[in-house]
Structure 1
Amino acid sequence: MSSAYDYKDLQRRMEGAVNAFKHDLASLRTGRASANLLDPIMVTAYGSPMPISQVGTVTVPEPRMIQISVWDKTLVGAVDRAIRESNLGFNPIVDGTTLRIPLPELNEERRKELVKIAHQYAESARVAARHVRRDGMEGLKKMEKDGDLGQDEVRSRSDQVQKLTDDTIASIDSVLAEKEAEIMHV
């Protein structure tokens, strides 16, 4: 039997899509500062994109303030630019090699913006799940064509893959609904 179709691998990849989505949502903090807020931001340093945590120390000195101590002073401008260009709505204050990021109060408009970003993250996760589904279905078709599986077995496994995809997307939607409620809660 060829390894074009591996249900366990499909499950693992679907779970990976959900976990990546949850990680992205963790960066959408509602009220308190958290070092995770900067996780999705990549800085172009030494010719390649890097997470901020790899170019400086990220701390939370106050509940509504994030501070970054950049290790290499030539990267301060790049870090500042990356934060401003992210769609998180932060305006860093540069002080030597330290950037202070005051968190804006969450007004209605900002909450709606955060919900929009959460929906974009959810759609990316759904697309990832659909890609995994497509790979699984193509693997099954190939096994049928190669004579490794009969039509009935392919149909049964296709249903399995579809159910896994539906469950994964339902899980993504459920996590999104929870996060949306958390963001909109005043």
Structure 2
Amino acid sequence: MSTSFDFKDLQRRMDGAISAFKSDLASLRTGRASSNLLDPIMVSAYGSQMPINQVANVTVPEPRMISVSVWDKQMVGAVDRAIRESNLGFNPIVDGTNLRIPLPELNEQRRKELVKIAHQYAEQARVAVRHVRRDGMDNLKKAEKEGDLSQDDVRSRSDKVQKLTDDTIAAIDAALVEKEAEIMHV
């Protein structure tokens, strides 16, 4: 039995691609405020890029308002800049160390932009899954070359890897369709 081919590892990595994709989708706005909306935003802080939740507290006091409480007074400008420069279309109102972000109503054009962003996230997830598949197939070829696996074993495991890949991409597509319907729902 080969130690160079680990099907569970491939499964784990593909599941990771799906969960990263779903977390990206959760950050897309669908009309209601959510603290997840700011998750993809990185702030230039202390000489490096940091997620916004490591320099501030993000809360949702009202359905159409996000509140960001910056912990370090000197970081308020950097957090404000990071939010404005993200492609999320937010204009924060600075009030001391707090930033209030009112969520505008979604118009048709903004909904279409959000759908495009969701499609980009889906494509990134599909590419990640295909990379995992390629790694698995390379490991199988290597194991065959080294004599660890017979051609029949390689073929059956290749089919298994391909089925896992197809199922994972189908799950990504299903999540995308669901999110697209949620975004376009008025």
Q: TM-score, normalised by structure 1?
A: 0.97
Tell me if structure 1 keeps the 8 A contact 2:2–2:149: no
RMSD of aligned Cα (Å)? 0.9
In structure 2, what residue type is equivalent to 1:95?
Answer: D
In structure 2, what residue type is equivalent to 1:79?
Answer: V
Counterpart for residue 30 of structure 1:
30
How far apart are residue 87 of structure 1 and its match? 1.1
How far apart are residue 163 of structure 1 and its match? 0.8
Counterpart for residue 145 of structure 2:
145
1:19-98 aligned within 5 A: 19-98=19-98
Deviations 1:68-113 (A, max 9, x none): 1101111111111111111111111112211111111100001001
Counterpart for residue 174 of structure 2:
174
Distance (Å, rounded) in 1 between the aligned partners of 2:181 and 2:122:
15
Distance (Å, rounded) in 1 between the aligned partners of 2:170 and 2:132:
15
How far apart are residue 181 of structure 1 and its match? 0.4
- What residue ranges of structure 1 are gaps of 5+ in the alignment? none
How far apart are residue 146 of structure 1 and its match? 0.7
Between the aligned residues of both structures, percent identity stands at: 82
Bigger shift: residues 42-51 or 165-174: 42-51
In structure 2, what residue type is equivalent to 1:152?
Answer: D
State the SS of the aligned residue for 2:29.
coil
Counterpart for residue 106 of structure 2:
106
Number of aligned residue pairs: 186
How far apart are residue 28 of structure 1 and its match? 0.9
Bigger shift: residues 45-54 or 105-114: 45-54
Distance (Å, rounded) in 1 between the aligned partners of 2:59 and 2:182:
24
In structure 1, what residue type is equivalent to 2:176?
Answer: L
Deviations 1:10-55 (A, max 9, x none): 0111111111111110111201111111011111111222111110
Distance (Å, rounded) in 1 between the aligned partners of 2:23 and 2:56:
20
Distance (Å, rounded) in 2 between the aligned partners of 1:62 and 1:3:
54
Counterpart for residue 184 of structure 1:
184
1:160-171 aligned within 5 A: 160-171=160-171
Distance (Å, rounded) in 2 between the aligned partners of 1:144 and 1:167:
25
State the SS of the aligned residue for 1:168.
helix
Deviations 1:124-171 (A, max 9, x none): 100110010011001101101110001111111111111110110011
Q: TM-score, normalised by structure 2?
A: 0.97
